[in-house]
A = this chain, B = another copy of it.
Amino acid sequence: MLNNNINLVAILKEYGIKPSIQRIEILEFLIENRIHPNIEAIYSILVEKMPTLSKATVYNTLDLFAKNGLTNRLFIEANEVRYDIRTDRHGHFKCEKCKIIHDVEIYNLDTEINKNDYKGMIYAEEINYRGLCEACAK
Contacts and interface: CB of A to CB of B under 8 A. Distances in A.
Interface of A: 73, 75-79, 81, 91, 93, 95-96, 104-114, 118-134, 136-138
Contacts of A106: 109-111
Given A126-B126, A128-B75, A137 B119 contact: yes
B111 A105 contact: yes
Given A76-B75, A78-B73, A122 B129 contact: yes
B120 A137 contact: yes
B120 A112 contact: no
A109 B132 CA distance: 20
Given A91-B111, A108-B110, A123 B131 contact: yes
Given A73-B78, A75-B75, A113-B91, A123 B134 contact: no
B121 A129 contact: no
23 contacts: A76-B126, A91-B113, A93-B120, A93-B122, A95-B120, A105-B111, A105-B112, A107-B111, A108-B110, A109-B127, A114-B129, A119-B134, A119-B137, A120-B137, A121-B137, A122-B130, A123-B130, A124-B128, A124-B129, A124-B130, A126-B128, A126-B129, A126-B130
